[in-house]
Amino acid sequence: MLQPILKINLATREISQFKVPREWLYDYLGAASLAARMLYDHLTPELNPLSPETPFLWLNGPLTGTAGPAVGRFVICAKSPATNLWGESNVGGFWGPELRKAGFDGLWIEGRAETPVYLWIHNNQIEIREASHLWGKETYNTQTAIQSELDAKNVRVAVIGPAGERLIPYALVLTDHGRVGGRTGMGAVMGSKNLKAVAVKGTGEVPLINWADYKAPRAKANRALKEHNATHYFREVGSGGAADYFDYLGSQPKKYYQAGVFEGSSKITGASLTEKYLTGVSACHACVIACGRVVDLGDGIKRKGPEYETMVGFGQNLLIDDLAATVRMGELCDTYGLDSISMSNIIGFAFSLFERGRLTLADADGLSLDWGSVEAATQLIHLTARREGIGAVLAGGSRSMEARFGDEGDAVQVNGLEIAYHDPRGASGFAIVYATSPRGACHNQSDYFMVDILGQTDEGLDISFHSRHAGAEKAADVARHQDWRTVNNALVLCVFASVPPLTVLELLNAGLGLDWTMADLLRCGERAWNLKRAINHRLGLTRANDKLPKALLKPYENGGSAGYVPPVQEMLTAYYVARGWDEITGRPTPAKLQELGLGWVVEDLWPET
């Protein structure tokens, strides 16, 4: 990192700066990978993620703000209150580039403010400002209030809503026009520190080691990205455009992962949204894609439209065929500051438990939790955000709901993180991805369905195309794809951007003055993947954690993936071999750790050796 990290103790109000060791830039690149290295020593099993002692790290990548192809993102990391394991969530918008322009590559936040505060970073002027008057406000209202009281143009504000204040373990952090760090509960960590928002304004230049060599490949890469089919597709129909195809293939879960077909499915798609409600698009910093949806439901109000996960989560997942309702429920999650994937998944679990009689009308405060009920789903969002009645139970997440109302394995989650809407029964690589992701069931640590379904075997990755229902033979390729996406999450390069890996390598070499090969780059990803795994083992994870919930191991009766379940155990065994991990414990072996330059972790991970 070229610029310092701003260190802020909210309890003592001490503000200082420090620089990251130069060699760590080369070992980890930046963002999530670098955060794992920086936080390693602090992440102990005893650490309560919501305690004042928990360090909370916001980091940019080495290319953030350089107007390269879709590299305007930053990441927020801490021990996750949802999983008690590694937590990370990257965010688009403009906040990250703005922080770099202010002269910092990241924030290290610790301590708990005595009363609610927000941070105001205006170049080198840092203020901890009173926020009691903002506490309780919704996300967008908070942004507006802060922007008007700061009296400066284009201030970028990252905020939490009431969900973060109430420490809901799937609370999000929201920036700009509804770009969110939704997963692993980073909003709750922020709330636990009494930190309502971080406002940033920078007027400096974004630094880069070699701007002169970077500009030509950057222009070429942006031109190629702009012309890519996927870019046209994302701009026209958003990520929800995939809903039709995933529905056709049976890789899109319905009825809380229990049904392969839903009659109303064709109404809940990106194409439908474009046809009925789209009025414009929105983009993150310097992005040529503009996947963001701006919609009007007929009331003249411009709203953020849902992306694939929110649309399907509140649509097919709940058997709701009212597209406008999915827009409104997504908006409600954003305003309260709730992760829409977890929230919709948890509501699906509540509907499922209600259908089975495990959660009664009395438990549900008299709400009839019927499949397809927009009213019930909407009410559950309100109750959850306020932690009222049954909402207090839902606010604990699906794992705690399972402990109270269900049987082991009922909740569709892994390690405390609710599963996204990509079904391993439709694309088997996701069996490994969900079971082994360092942040619980996550679709962004490797979006392997892009390989399984869309054949994205980019040159340089040495990944082969297998049938979407192949088994253990794809394990090594999944591992390699995880390494690649770990590189993406270190940069931070948006997964929606179809930038060829060899182009990424060219950009990095040019901008950072490196002479790396693809093998070097992938090794960098593999190093961070193993480091995050080591962190999780240190926090108590064992091989037994690498598993899928019951629902995903039962074949669908109909739809495009009827009759199939992935051979998870065979796939995992092959995966451990490919990773060089111990097959009994699931830990990276001492030899693998040494090979990756992580010898300093061996003593923690293998104390008996």
Give me the residues that bind another protein (CB under 8 A), please: 227-230, 232-233, 236-237, 241-245, 248, 266, 269-271, 274-275, 450, 454-457, 465, 498
Taking the least distance from each CB to another protein, the nearer of 83 and 326 is 326
Q: Residues 236, 441, 527, CA angle at the centre, nearest 5°? A: 95
Phi and psi of 196, rounded to 5°?
Answer: -80, -35
- Phi/psi region, residue 441 (left: phi>0; alpha: psi -120 to 50; beta: rest), is beta
Taking the least distance from each CB to another protein, the nearer of 110 and 244 is 244
Q: Crossing angle of helices 229-237/211-227, nearest 10°? A: 70
Asked if residues 411 and 83 have their Cβ atoms less than 8 Å apart, the reply is: no
- Annotate 337-385 with three-state secondary structure: CECHHHHHHHHHHHHHHHHCCCCCCCCCCCCCCCCCCHHHHHHHHHHHH
State the Cα–Cα distance between residues 76 and 31, nearest whole angstrom. Answer: 8
Taking the least distance from each CB to another protein, the nearer of 243 and 535 is 243
Q: Which of 78, 90, 87, 102 is nearest to 31 (CA)?
A: 90
Taking the least distance from each CB to another protein, the nearer of 17 and 457 is 457
Taking the least distance from each CB to another protein, the nearer of 273 and 318 is 273
Q: At its nearest, how many Å lie between another protein and the CB of residue 276?
A: 11
Taking the least distance from each CB to another protein, the nearer of 274 and 488 is 274
Structure tokens at 566: 């992935």
Q: Which of 270, 322, 277 is nearest to 297 (CA)?
A: 277
Taking the least distance from each CB to another protein, the nearer of 88 and 244 is 244
Q: At its nearest, how many Å lie between another protein and the CB of residue 105?
A: 34
Structure tokens at 291: 């996947």
Q: At its nearest, how many Å lie between another protein and the CB of residue 244?
A: 4
Please report the sign of the dihedral spanned by the C-alpha atoms of residue 495, residue 496, residue 501, residue 504.
Answer: negative
State the Cα–Cα distance between residues 207 and 216, nearest whole angstrom. Answer: 17
Instruction: Using DSSP, state whether 411 is helix, strand or coil.
Output: coil
Structure tokens at 168: 């809901």
Read off the DSSP letter of residue 581. Answer: B
Q: At its nearest, how many Å lie between another protein and the CB of residue 455?
A: 3
Residue 122 β-bridge partners: 125, 201
C-beta contacts of 130-137 below 8 A and 24+ residues apart: 131/194, 131/196, 131/197, 134/196, 134/197, 135/165, 135/196, 136/162, 136/165, 137/161, 137/162
Residue 229: is it exposed, middle or buried by C-beta count within 10 angstroms (0-12/13-18/19+)? exposed
Q: At its nearest, how many Å lie between another protein and the CB of residue 232?
A: 6
Taking the least distance from each CB to another protein, the nearer of 274 and 317 is 274
Q: Which of 146, 97, 93 is nearest to 120 (CA)?
A: 146
Q: At its nearest, how many Å lie between another protein and the CB of residue 222?
A: 15
Q: At its nearest, how many Å lie between another protein and the CB of residue 280?
A: 15
Q: Which helix (H) or strand (E) holds 502?
A: helix 501-512
Asked if residues 530 and 598 have their Cβ atoms less than 8 Å apart, the reply is: yes
Length of the chain: 609
Asked if residues 550 and 414 have their Cβ atoms less than 8 Å apart, the reply is: no
Residue ranges with strand state E in 117-257: 117-122, 125-130, 156-159, 173-175, 179-181, 195-201
Asked if residues 72 and 92 have their Cβ atoms less than 8 Å apart, the reply is: yes
